[in-house]
Homo-oligomer: A and B are copies of this chain.
Amino acid sequence: MIVGMGRWEPNARGRLEQAALELYVERGYEQTTVAEIAERAGLTERTFFRHFADKREVLFAGAGALQELLVTAVAGAPDAVAPLEAVAAALEAAGALLQERREYSRRRQSVIDANPALQERELIKLAALASALAGPLRRRGVTGPAASLTAEAGIAVFKIAFERWISETGQSDLPRLIRESLDELRTVTAGT
**Does A61 belong to the interface (CB within 8 Å)?**
no
Contacts of A3 in B (CB 8 A): none
Query: Quick one: copies of this chain in the complex?
Result: 2
In the assembled complex, the CB of A124 is this many whole angstroms from the nearest CB of chain B, namely 6
Most buried by B among A82, A153, A163, A189: A189
A8, B156: Cα distance in complex, Å: 45
A181 adjacent to B149 (CB under 8 Å): yes
Residues of A at under 8 Å CB distance from B? Answer: 82-85, 116, 119-121, 123-124, 127, 145-146, 148-150, 152-153, 156-157, 159-160, 163-164, 180-181, 184-192
In the assembled complex, the CB of A35 is this many whole angstroms from the nearest CB of chain B, namely 27
A149, B119: Cα distance in complex, Å: 19
Contacts of A184 in B (CB 8 A): 145-146, 149
A119, B124: Cα distance in complex, Å: 8
A153 adjacent to B85 (CB under 8 Å): no
A82 adjacent to B120 (CB under 8 Å): no
17 further interface pairs, Cβ-Cβ under 8 Å (given A152-B156, A152-B159, A189-B189): A83-B188, A83-B191, A84-B189, A84-B191, A85-B191, A120-B120, A120-B124, A123-B123, A145-B164, A146-B184, A146-B188, A149-B184, A149-B188, A150-B188, A153-B153, A153-B189, A156-B156
A157 adjacent to B149 (CB under 8 Å): yes
Nearest first, the 9 closest Cβ-Cβ pairs linking A and B are A152-B156, A82-B191, A120-B120, A123-B123, A189-B189, A150-B188, A186-B189, A145-B160, A148-B160
A163, B145: Cα distance in complex, Å: 9
